[in-house]
Structure 1
Amino acid sequence: MDQAKLLNDFRPKDSGEYIARLAGRELIKKREHEDLLRSYGQEMARMRWRPSTRVHPRDLELVRDAHTWLVEVKVVYKGNGTEAARAALAQLLEYRHFFYPAGNKPGMLALFSEEIGRAHVSLLGELGIRVVWRTQTGWDGDKGAQSAELVP
């Protein structure tokens, strides 16, 4: 096949500069992230985990016996589990790479304000990331998180 035909469906957008104007506005910000973090950390302490938020910029670290879990907390906005899962995935991998030495890597847990959907739970699970989310009555999580005793 010649090169022209190979490029039939290849139409990159213009790479030129453009101007974006944003109107100044005042926003009211909620503290759902901190509420989710506080509530989960307290529940995990009841389960004999030692939660620590003194690991900035990471959200949370859970330690019990010889087990350490790096936890990334995400609020799911407007039901957008995709965006929340992508953000948690990127941050967990980055933090694990840069903050933990080789041979001493923690488990990774993504904590969400609501369910993110089976497809994203499956994706994160394939990458070794356990998933927990808040429900209307408490907490739920994937089977890996349940077996690791990460679901209150």
Structure 2
Amino acid sequence: MYLLMIYFYRFREGMKTLGVLDAIRMHPDAFRPLFFHEPSPLTADVLEQLFEIRLSAEVLPARFNFFFGVLWCISFSEQEGPLQLLVFATGANAIPPLGFSPQPSVDFLHELPLRQGRHLPTANTCINCLRLPVLKKFEDFKETMEFALKNTQGFGQD
């Protein structure tokens, strides 16, 4: 604890040397972005850039586009949609300032025939992986995504 106080004192004295400390005190709002991370709003575009899509030979481009279609649908239908997807896939309610490690990814489930309950998306938040079913109709895919997102506890978060 004592060592931390010494480092803080030295930091403060260094900030005084060039008048930076006085400038921070006079204009705290101008310096806030330098010292505090303020996450940008989550949108479909942000999530599209965030997730690495792992394609395989079994995924047809139309089905691959289902994921992006659902992203856009949940973005416009509910303001919390992108946040629900991020929490579902990673367990985080914001993108960390230094990003995720590992990078969030999307895998497609190709198990046929579909067993009871296996048509729902799943997630492994330890490795930030979202696993999506491969369904024939966009409406079915969208319905399963919405069901999964709305019926997830989200680690006790409100």
TM-score (norm 2): 0.29
Which of the two has higher C-alpha Rg? 2
User: Larger relative CO (CA 8 A, sep 6+): 1 or 2?
Assistant: 2
Q: Which has the higher helix share?
A: 2
Q: Which has the higher strand share?
A: 1
